[in-house]
Amino acid sequence: MKKTFMGVRLRRLREERRLTQAALAAKLNISLSYLNQLENNQRPLTLPVLLALNSAFGLDVQSFSEDDEARLIADLRDVLADPALGETISTAELRELAVNMPAVGRALIGLHRRQRQAAEQAATLAAQLGEDRQAETILLPSTPYEEVRDFFYANNNYIPRLDEAAEALASDLALVPGAMADSLTARLAREHKVSVVIDPGAIGTQRRFDRSTNILHVSQRLRPGQFAFQLATQVAMLAFDHDVTELVKASRFSSREAEGLARIGLANYFAGALVMPYRKFLASAERLRYDIELLGEEYGVGFETACHRLSTLQRPAARGIPFFFIRVDRAGNISKRQSATDFHFSRVGGTCPLWNVYEAFASPGKILTQIARMPDDRTYLWIARTVTHSPGGYGSSGKTFAVALGCDLRHADQIVYSRGLDLASPENATPIGVSCKVCQRRECPQRAFPPIGRPLNVDETVSRFAPYAAAPDTARRQN
């Protein structure tokens, strides 16, 4: 176990439980002097002490994990990357804050989020008053879509209340993976008086519920798993509306639009958990070594749906591999991103062009693998492939995305896609970053912007980023 110093977290735990040092030492069965050394970061936190904390207080040992530390560091780096602060915060300082004062770090992130929301309101008011120049200078905050993404990110992409309810319902109905449509149709008719009609004329719409007639129209073009997914989504909206409403209210979203998007996201989450029940799906994933195409065949779902479900397997008592999931289009727009653990998707403009998720568009339908190393030397295995959503019919324009699923390299030997890769050689890893604006790799040939707060030298800036720039020595002669 790597040496980990968690003195401030221990002191906070003791203060929250209103315990003296002597009382906490007794509960952990350690000496008072040893506890004092732990709290003052003179001794590292050990595995036996972690297990004692779990036994005495029921604490999840993940609360003291490096993954949580990495997530917090990544969020703080974005928050404190604003050049207007006038300070350059080093990674060492961020790590010290994340390790020893995580509550302060989370408070800074919360303050930053509220500042962005206030900025949006000010920008909207300025635009209404015709003060366009003022509106342009205000930093616009997260959209409702990003706010809902933040909600799932904060919950590690796992919603226990809905996941467990969906698994229980799948068990009660004795649903068979890949053949659930008939049982769900019967459930909707019996419990909610809803009739399911297969609509041959539906183009571009997979599901439409008519409340006036209690008829659910579902496109006939859906595969069995997709058909079951749409029925399960309707079950969530009718039978588990109370649970969804409580989850949305507890999260205090800033707008009705965000609340509406969250309700849809939670209903879809329930549907995925019902069509792919947690324990059965996890067992299948481990048996098949996380082969996404074979999982899709077994559960009757597409490649993207299987990837998304894999990124949610974070039940404390039965965790799967902590995956990160992303979906992008050809222009680089991110339409889905989910992180079950420490990988961070930047909000400070764009992603890394060296990431294999963008290379996937050059090889449609082919699964690409990549060992990628981040600037902090964390290394990941990434799997990427294109998926196409077509409304059907000659001349109709479909939608093509690239989806990617990634995990820390330490899990790679459990995954079929690591076959043939040399996981032990660091030179095989492609150096990538989160975003050019926060990446510190000065020598990257694909850099689009200088890093915020750490500009490149004049020659580099002129040659790479100035419009119609000449070579550096030519530019000097002209000046």
pLDDT digit string (tens) for 456-473? 565 655 555 555 555 444
**Confidence band, pLDDT 50/70/90 cuts, at residue 479:** very low
pLDDT digit string (tens) for 227-279? 999 999 999 999 999 999 999 999 989 889 999 999 999 999 999 999 999 99
Kindly report which listed range (167-181, 332-346, 377-391) carries the lowest average pLDDT score. 332-346
Secondary structure class of 339 (helix, strand, coil): strand
Q: Which residue has the higher pLDDT, 81 or 314?
A: 314
Secondary structure class of 407 (helix, strand, coil): strand
pLDDT digit string (tens) for 67-94? 567 777 878 887 887 656 667 788 778 8
Residue-level pLDDT at 127: 47
Question: Does residue 142 carry a pLDDT above 50?
Answer: yes
Q: Which residue has the higher pLDDT, 124 or 377?
A: 377
**Confidence band, pLDDT 50/70/90 cuts, at residue 53:** confident
Question: Does residue 410 carry a pLDDT above 80?
Answer: yes
Q: Which of 207, 162, 212 is nearest to 185 (CA)?
A: 207
**Confidence band, pLDDT 50/70/90 cuts, at residue 286:** very high
Residue-level pLDDT at 477: 42
Residue 39 is encoded by which pair of tokens?
């709290």
- Domain positions in the chain are 142-309, 321-448
Residues 6+ apart with CB under 8 A from 308: 272, 325, 336, 338
142-309: in CATH 3.40.640.10 = no
pLDDT digit string (tens) for 354-402? 889 999 999 999 999 999 988 778 899 999 999 987 766 666 667 899 9
**Confidence band, pLDDT 50/70/90 cuts, at residue 139:** very low
> How many helices and strands (H and E) does the chain possess?
20, 11
Residue-level pLDDT at 46: 82
**Confidence band, pLDDT 50/70/90 cuts, at residue 309:** very high
Residue-level pLDDT at 347: 55
Residue-level pLDDT at 343: 65
Question: Does residue 311 carry a pLDDT above 80?
Answer: yes
**Confidence band, pLDDT 50/70/90 cuts, at residue 153:** confident
Residue-level pLDDT at 434: 74
Q: By percentage, how much of the chain surpasses pLDDT 90?
A: 39
CA-CA distance, 429 to 443, in Å (whole number)? 16
Same fold, 142-309 and 321-448: no
Q: Supply the mean pLDDT for the chain.
A: 82
Q: Which residue has the higher pLDDT, 212 or 475?
A: 212
Torsion of CA 460, 465, 467, 472, to 10 degrees: 10
Residue-level pLDDT at 202: 60
Residue-level pLDDT at 457: 62
CA-CA distance, 471 to 475, in Å (whole number)? 6
> How would you write 261-310 as a 3-class SS string?
HHHHHHHHHHHHHHHCCHHHHHHHHHHCCCCHHHHHHHHCCCHHHHHHHH
Residue-level pLDDT at 68: 63
CA-CA distance, 343 to 74, in Å (whole number)? 8
Q: What CATH architecture is 321-448?
A: 2-Layer Sandwich (3.30)
Residue-level pLDDT at 267: 96
Going by the DSSP 8-state scheme, the letter that residue 335 receives in this structure is: E
Kindly report which listed range (175-179, 386-390, 452-456) carries the lowest average pLDDT score. 452-456
* Interval 400-414 mean pLDDT: 94
Residues 6+ apart with CB under 8 A from 48: none
Residue-level pLDDT at 370: 94
* Interval 91-107 mean pLDDT: 80
DSSP string, 368-405: EEEEEE-TTS-EEEEEEEEEEE---STT---EEEEEEE
Residue-level pLDDT at 85: 66
Question: Does residue 137 carry a pLDDT above 80?
Answer: no
Going by the DSSP 8-state scheme, the letter that residue 450 receives in this structure is: P
* Interval 209-230 mean pLDDT: 90
Q: By percentage, how much of the chain surpasses pLDDT 70?
A: 79
Strongest mean pLDDT among 98-112, 296-310, 431-445, 447-461: 296-310
Q: Which of 465, 444, 428 is nearest to 354 (CA)?
A: 444
Torsion of CA 77, 353, 150, 295, to 10 degrees: -130
Secondary structure class of 430 (helix, strand, coil): strand
Residues 6+ apart with CB under 8 A from 215: 194, 195, 196, 197, 209
Secondary structure class of 460 (helix, strand, coil): helix
